[in-house]
Amino acid sequence: MGTEPKPRRRNRLPLLLGLVAVLCLCIVVFAIASPGTKDTSQPNPPTGASSTPQPASAQAQHTNPPPTAIPPTAPPTSTPVPELGTTDNPIPYGASVEVSLGLLGLGPSAEITVLEVIRGQEAWDKIYIANIYNSRAPEGFEWMLVKVRIVSKSSTDQTANVGPSLFAVRSGGRLTEYFDVAMDVCCLEDVKLQPLEDAQLYGGAEIEGWIAYPVGIDDPTPLLKVGDVYLSVTPPT
Protein backbone atom coordinates (compact mmCIF):
# COMPACT_ATOMS: atom_id res chain seq x y z
CA MET A 1 0.00 0.00 0.00
CA GLY A 2 1.42 3.29 -1.03
CA THR A 3 2.15 6.27 1.24
CA GLU A 4 -0.71 8.93 1.33
CA PRO A 5 0.62 12.44 0.67
CA LYS A 6 0.27 15.01 3.48
CA PRO A 7 -2.00 18.04 2.82
CA ARG A 8 -0.14 21.36 1.99
CA ARG A 9 -0.13 23.91 4.74
CA ARG A 10 -1.72 27.25 3.59
CA ASN A 11 0.32 30.47 4.07
CA ARG A 12 -1.81 32.84 6.27
CA LEU A 13 0.54 35.86 6.33
CA PRO A 14 -1.15 37.76 3.51
CA LEU A 15 -4.48 37.35 5.23
CA LEU A 16 -3.13 38.78 8.47
CA LEU A 17 -1.62 41.73 6.70
CA GLY A 18 -4.92 42.44 4.99
CA LEU A 19 -6.74 42.40 8.31
CA VAL A 20 -4.23 44.79 9.82
CA ALA A 21 -4.64 47.19 6.85
CA VAL A 22 -8.42 47.09 7.16
CA LEU A 23 -8.16 47.79 10.89
CA CYS A 24 -5.88 50.76 10.34
CA LEU A 25 -8.19 52.14 7.68
CA CYS A 26 -11.15 51.89 10.05
CA ILE A 27 -9.21 53.74 12.73
CA VAL A 28 -8.37 56.58 10.32
CA VAL A 29 -11.96 56.86 9.10
CA PHE A 30 -13.24 56.90 12.67
CA ALA A 31 -10.77 59.62 13.65
CA ILE A 32 -11.80 61.86 10.74
CA ALA A 33 -15.53 61.42 11.32
CA SER A 34 -15.29 61.82 15.09
CA PRO A 35 -16.96 65.06 16.60
CA GLY A 36 -14.56 67.76 17.86
CA THR A 37 -12.05 67.06 15.19
CA LYS A 38 -10.55 70.37 14.07
CA ASP A 39 -10.97 71.18 10.41
CA THR A 40 -7.59 72.40 9.29
CA SER A 41 -8.63 73.01 5.71
CA GLN A 42 -8.34 76.63 4.52
CA PRO A 43 -11.47 78.36 3.16
CA ASN A 44 -11.45 79.20 -0.49
CA PRO A 45 -10.74 82.90 -1.13
CA PRO A 46 -13.63 84.93 -2.58
CA THR A 47 -13.86 85.24 -6.32
CA GLY A 48 -11.53 87.86 -7.69
CA ALA A 49 -9.50 88.11 -4.46
CA SER A 50 -5.83 87.38 -4.61
CA SER A 51 -4.59 84.63 -2.33
CA THR A 52 -1.10 86.12 -2.39
CA PRO A 53 -0.43 87.96 0.90
CA GLN A 54 0.15 91.69 0.43
CA PRO A 55 3.07 93.56 1.95
CA ALA A 56 2.49 95.73 5.01
CA SER A 57 2.82 98.94 2.95
CA ALA A 58 -0.02 97.86 0.67
CA GLN A 59 -2.21 96.96 3.63
CA ALA A 60 -1.58 100.40 5.16
CA GLN A 61 -2.93 102.05 2.02
CA HIS A 62 -6.30 100.40 2.55
CA THR A 63 -6.47 101.36 6.22
CA ASN A 64 -8.69 104.37 6.98
CA PRO A 65 -6.66 107.15 8.66
CA PRO A 66 -7.69 108.07 12.18
CA PRO A 67 -10.04 111.10 12.38
CA THR A 68 -8.30 114.43 12.83
CA ALA A 69 -8.94 115.89 16.23
CA ILE A 70 -10.61 119.34 16.00
CA PRO A 71 -9.33 121.69 18.71
CA PRO A 72 -12.04 123.35 20.76
CA THR A 73 -13.03 126.79 19.52
CA ALA A 74 -12.75 129.57 22.03
CA PRO A 75 -15.95 131.60 22.41
CA PRO A 76 -15.84 134.92 20.53
CA THR A 77 -14.93 137.90 22.62
CA SER A 78 -16.54 141.26 22.03
CA THR A 79 -14.52 144.44 22.17
CA PRO A 80 -15.97 146.76 24.80
CA VAL A 81 -17.28 150.03 23.39
CA PRO A 82 -15.70 153.10 25.05
CA GLU A 83 -18.02 155.21 27.14
CA LEU A 84 -19.87 157.86 25.14
CA GLY A 85 -18.38 161.32 25.56
CA THR A 86 -14.77 160.17 25.90
CA THR A 87 -11.90 160.93 23.54
CA ASP A 88 -12.28 157.45 21.99
CA ASN A 89 -16.03 157.83 21.57
CA PRO A 90 -16.97 161.54 21.52
CA ILE A 91 -20.50 162.89 21.26
CA PRO A 92 -21.35 162.80 17.53
CA TYR A 93 -21.37 166.03 15.57
CA GLY A 94 -24.74 167.75 15.91
CA ALA A 95 -25.90 165.56 18.81
CA SER A 96 -26.88 167.12 22.14
CA VAL A 97 -25.40 166.14 25.47
CA GLU A 98 -26.29 167.22 29.00
CA VAL A 99 -23.34 168.13 31.20
CA SER A 100 -23.02 169.29 34.79
CA LEU A 101 -21.66 172.80 35.29
CA GLY A 102 -19.95 174.47 38.19
CA LEU A 103 -17.03 173.40 40.33
CA LEU A 104 -16.48 169.63 40.16
CA GLY A 105 -19.67 169.37 38.16
CA LEU A 106 -21.82 170.06 41.23
CA GLY A 107 -23.74 172.97 39.69
CA PRO A 108 -26.85 172.89 37.49
CA SER A 109 -26.70 171.12 34.15
CA ALA A 110 -26.98 172.38 30.61
CA GLU A 111 -27.51 170.80 27.20
CA ILE A 112 -24.69 171.45 24.70
CA THR A 113 -24.99 171.09 20.92
CA VAL A 114 -22.45 171.80 18.17
CA LEU A 115 -24.37 173.52 15.36
CA GLU A 116 -21.75 174.56 12.79
CA VAL A 117 -17.98 174.51 12.23
CA ILE A 118 -15.72 176.61 9.98
CA ARG A 119 -11.97 176.02 9.88
CA GLY A 120 -8.88 176.61 7.78
CA GLN A 121 -8.54 179.47 5.30
CA GLU A 122 -12.26 180.27 5.39
CA ALA A 123 -12.13 180.73 9.17
CA TRP A 124 -9.02 182.92 8.96
CA ASP A 125 -10.59 185.10 6.26
CA LYS A 126 -13.55 185.86 8.53
CA ILE A 127 -11.32 186.48 11.56
CA TYR A 128 -9.03 188.82 9.61
CA ILE A 129 -11.92 190.74 8.04
CA ALA A 130 -13.53 191.09 11.49
CA ASN A 131 -10.36 192.80 12.76
CA ILE A 132 -7.05 193.04 10.96
CA TYR A 133 -5.29 192.98 14.34
CA ASN A 134 -6.63 189.55 15.20
CA SER A 135 -3.81 187.06 15.72
CA ARG A 136 -2.79 184.34 13.32
CA ALA A 137 -2.93 180.77 14.57
CA PRO A 138 0.33 179.37 16.02
CA GLU A 139 2.80 177.55 13.75
CA GLY A 140 1.30 174.23 12.60
CA PHE A 141 -2.21 175.30 13.60
CA GLU A 142 -5.19 176.95 11.93
CA TRP A 143 -8.26 178.68 13.30
CA MET A 144 -11.54 176.87 13.87
CA LEU A 145 -14.84 178.66 14.49
CA VAL A 146 -17.54 176.66 16.27
CA LYS A 147 -21.17 177.68 16.72
CA VAL A 148 -22.72 176.12 19.84
CA ARG A 149 -26.10 176.16 21.54
CA ILE A 150 -26.50 175.99 25.32
CA VAL A 151 -29.86 175.17 26.93
CA SER A 152 -30.14 175.49 30.70
CA LYS A 153 -31.48 172.41 32.49
CA SER A 154 -31.62 174.06 35.90
CA SER A 155 -34.84 174.66 37.80
CA THR A 156 -36.99 177.69 37.03
CA ASP A 157 -35.77 179.52 40.15
CA GLN A 158 -32.07 178.71 39.65
CA THR A 159 -29.66 180.03 37.04
CA ALA A 160 -26.87 178.28 35.16
CA ASN A 161 -23.75 180.35 34.48
CA VAL A 162 -22.71 179.71 30.89
CA GLY A 163 -20.30 181.27 28.40
CA PRO A 164 -17.21 180.64 26.25
CA SER A 165 -15.09 179.77 29.28
CA LEU A 166 -16.99 176.45 29.55
CA PHE A 167 -15.13 175.19 26.50
CA ALA A 168 -11.68 173.95 25.58
CA VAL A 169 -10.31 172.23 22.46
CA ARG A 170 -8.12 169.12 22.29
CA SER A 171 -6.02 169.09 19.12
CA GLY A 172 -2.45 168.84 17.91
CA GLY A 173 -1.34 167.09 21.08
CA ARG A 174 -2.44 169.86 23.44
CA LEU A 175 -5.51 171.18 25.24
CA THR A 176 -6.30 174.86 24.61
CA GLU A 177 -8.44 176.60 27.21
CA TYR A 178 -10.61 179.63 26.43
CA PHE A 179 -8.40 182.07 28.33
CA ASP A 180 -5.39 180.93 26.29
CA VAL A 181 -6.91 182.59 23.20
CA ALA A 182 -9.50 185.01 24.62
CA MET A 183 -7.50 188.03 23.47
CA ASP A 184 -6.53 186.67 20.06
CA VAL A 185 -9.87 187.04 18.26
CA CYS A 186 -12.52 189.71 18.56
CA CYS A 187 -15.26 191.46 16.69
CA LEU A 188 -16.78 188.43 14.99
CA GLU A 189 -20.14 190.19 15.04
CA ASP A 190 -18.75 192.43 12.29
CA VAL A 191 -18.82 189.46 9.92
CA LYS A 192 -22.26 188.36 11.15
CA LEU A 193 -20.92 185.69 13.50
CA GLN A 194 -22.37 186.47 16.91
CA PRO A 195 -19.79 185.54 19.58
CA LEU A 196 -20.91 183.40 22.49
CA GLU A 197 -21.36 185.60 25.53
CA ASP A 198 -21.44 184.99 29.26
CA ALA A 199 -24.98 184.59 30.55
CA GLN A 200 -27.07 183.39 33.45
CA LEU A 201 -29.84 181.15 32.19
CA TYR A 202 -32.89 179.96 34.07
CA GLY A 203 -34.22 176.51 33.34
CA GLY A 204 -35.31 176.17 29.71
CA ALA A 205 -33.54 179.33 28.52
CA GLU A 206 -30.92 179.01 25.79
CA ILE A 207 -28.15 180.94 24.06
CA GLU A 208 -26.18 180.48 20.82
CA GLY A 209 -22.87 181.90 19.67
CA TRP A 210 -19.46 181.37 18.05
CA ILE A 211 -16.14 180.52 19.72
CA ALA A 212 -12.68 180.46 18.12
CA TYR A 213 -9.87 177.97 18.82
CA PRO A 214 -6.65 176.95 17.05
CA VAL A 215 -6.50 173.33 15.88
CA GLY A 216 -3.72 171.31 14.29
CA ILE A 217 -3.57 171.68 10.52
CA ASP A 218 -3.06 167.93 10.14
CA ASP A 219 -5.70 167.02 12.76
CA PRO A 220 -8.91 165.91 10.99
CA THR A 221 -10.76 165.17 14.23
CA PRO A 222 -10.23 167.83 16.90
CA LEU A 223 -12.51 167.61 19.95
CA LEU A 224 -14.48 170.21 21.87
CA LYS A 225 -14.32 169.67 25.63
CA VAL A 226 -17.00 170.72 28.14
CA GLY A 227 -16.28 169.62 31.69
CA ASP A 228 -15.27 165.96 31.33
CA VAL A 229 -17.27 165.44 28.12
CA TYR A 230 -15.80 165.49 24.60
CA LEU A 231 -17.80 166.43 21.52
CA SER A 232 -16.90 165.88 17.88
CA VAL A 233 -16.55 169.03 15.78
CA THR A 234 -16.01 167.08 12.55
CA PRO A 235 -19.06 167.11 10.25
CA PRO A 236 -19.96 163.69 8.82
CA THR A 237 -18.81 163.08 5.27
Between 193 and 77, name the one with better pLDDT.
193
- Contact by Cβ (8 Å): 99, 110: yes
Question: 167-188 b/e with 16+ CB inside 10 Å = b?
Answer: bbbbbbeeebebeebeebbbeb
How high is the pLDDT of residue 80? 81
In tens, the pLDDT along 174-205 reads: 999 999 999 999 999 999 999 999 999 999 99
Grade residue 147 by pLDDT with cuts at 50, 70 and 90: very high
CATH 2.60.40 fits 96-227, yes or no: yes
Give domain limits for the chain: 96-227
Determine the pLDDT at residue 60: 47
In sign, the C-alpha dihedral spanning 103, 84, 145, 116 is negative
Of 26-35, 65-74, 95-104, the range with the lowest mean pLDDT is 26-35
Write down the mean pLDDT value for the chain. Answer: 82
Beta bridge partners of 170: 175, 223
78 pLDDT band, cuts 50/70/90, is: confident
154 — pLDDT class (breaks 50, 70, 90) = confident
Rounded Cα distance, 231 and 47, in Å: 86
pLDDT band of 70, cuts 50, 70, 90: confident
Beta bridge partners of 162: 199
C-alpha closest to that of 200 among 159, 153, 142, 231: 159
Q: What is the pLDDT of residue 49?
A: 46
CA 105 vs. chain centroid, Å, equals: 36
Q: Backbone dihedral region of 171: left (phi > 0), alpha (psi from -120 to 50 degrees) or beta?
A: beta
Please give the distance of CA 232 from its chain centroid, rounded to a whole number.
25
CA-based torsion, 121, 124, 130, 132: positive or negative: negative
SS3 call for 130: helix
Taking phi first (over 0 means left), then psi (-120 to 50 degrees means alpha), and beta for anything else, what does residue 163 get?
A: left
Predicted local confidence at residue 55, as pLDDT: 53
